[in-house]
Structure 1
Amino acid sequence: MHYVTSKSILSKDNGMNLYRGCTHGCIYCDSRSDVYNMDHDFEDIEVKQNSLELLKKELIKKTPSMIGTGAMTDPYVPLEGHLKYLRRALEMIYKYGFGFTCITKSDLVLRDLDLLLKINEKSKAVVQMTLTTSDDDLSSILEPNVCTTSRRVDVLKKLSDAGIPTIVWLCPILPYINDTEDNIGRIIDYCIESNVKGILCFGMGLTLRDGNREYFYSKLDENFPGLKETYIKKYANSYSLPSPDEGKLMDIFKKRTSANGILNDPDEIFRYLHEFPEKTYQSTLNFK
């Protein structure tokens, strides 16, 4: 971990990253890619030490809307447990009447359920959680330093029971590893049981770029001997690596989600995530 001073904290679309880098160890992580120009080791997490001061200034001058985090770095990396940057950001998001959504794989999100409930009552809070495999043993290989799939499903159920809407990211689906009908079916079963609002799926496969490709292949050698050669023979240096069974698996995904009233169109889901409820709270003006 190391500290930096940042010039800004919110993107033009109100995306927020309090940290940069991750220790979850997911073998497929695109954020390792060279294209993001990270100038430090991926596991040496960069902490934006002035991020909360910047966020307060931004929230004061902006019209309330949705604030999102987790697109590049899971906001609930283990060090959040004691630094509490995200929790303090949530307190400000609530205070100034904004909505919130995050993408995570961590059960640490339950620590902040009290604030998520307050935000959801006042505006809107949505938790997005990634599920890649229904097998906990495989989950511990693909995502070794974060809670298993069964624990994430438990988190989804707890959030749903509390009234917090949830979205699941069904990705990536790794060819010859978790691209099976049984896996996709079981994950959808988990989503039905957890009453998720939608499932984001951009196809059955994964993407590899310089930087994350090398790391991914090293982990294939470590955990799935011989599979790297299969990948290289079939995909070479392609960016997109679709499962050989993509058509069949996508058909299962679309039919089962539609039959169970789960949103499955990415554009519709992203509209929902960005949509800010038209509620007016005069009290929020008193803080400005």
Structure 2
Amino acid sequence: MFRIIGLIGLLATAQAAPNPHLPKATFDTVAPKLPKTIERGVLIVSKTNGWRHLEHIPHSNVVLTGIARELGRPAYATENAAIFNDEQLARFSVVVLNSASGQFLTEPQRAAFQRFVDRGGGVVALHAAGDNSHVAPWYVDTIIGTKFIGHPGDDDHIQPARILVDQPDHPVMKGVTLPWTPKDEWYSFSGDPAAKGMTVLARVDETSYRPGAKLAMGSHPIIWTNPNSRGRVIYSALGHTPESYDDPNYRRILTNAIRWAAR
């Protein structure tokens, strides 16, 4: 009897265990102390108040830090959103939103981020930085330009698919070798961001993978920029797996994107 009760207790505890992919939302109020050497740097933010991409964030933060240093820029990776203040953002040229998800900024922090972009600051938003957990109008209009509606699941969750490059001469896409069929979690969106004034750089060929009837878009953008922003803004839906950040083509795109966003 005691053994049965013990097992029931263990099962109840297991069922009540928090999902590490869905951390409790928190808001940061005390900004970190930045190294004095940070000037014209690259800020890498992986704060998650929505779905947390445990699989890739640790590795991608290392890769992105390395890319920034290869470009001769100091990098600072953090999950403390209180860094979104005018004084500290002024020390960076680019903010990389590395699968930052959910409403992770307070209203004053979001306003500081908007001022950063309006002053010409660059933004490189990756993967979950474009999911539907972001609802603030300025963020949706400036960073995303469309609405995430889902991705294939179960056996079709991660699939190889062919990338089509719309703008091969754009600085972000320079040097990408085709054909390119990376394995990834393929995001679908409610509409083409080009309809909102975005410039699509690359698409995924839906005939090369199984999107499912509800997620098929026909013309399926995967990387785009916002030419109407004062700062250079780029979004890439790629990057669910850690291996993505070791793909030579994707590393080149990330390098190009940070360089381009930093002007």
Which category of TM-score, normalised to the shorter sequence, fits these structures? 0.3 to 0.5
- The normalised TM-score by structure 1 is 0.40
Task: Say which structure is richer in helix.
Answer: 1
- The normalised TM-score by structure 2 is 0.43
Task: Say which structure is richer in strand.
Answer: 2
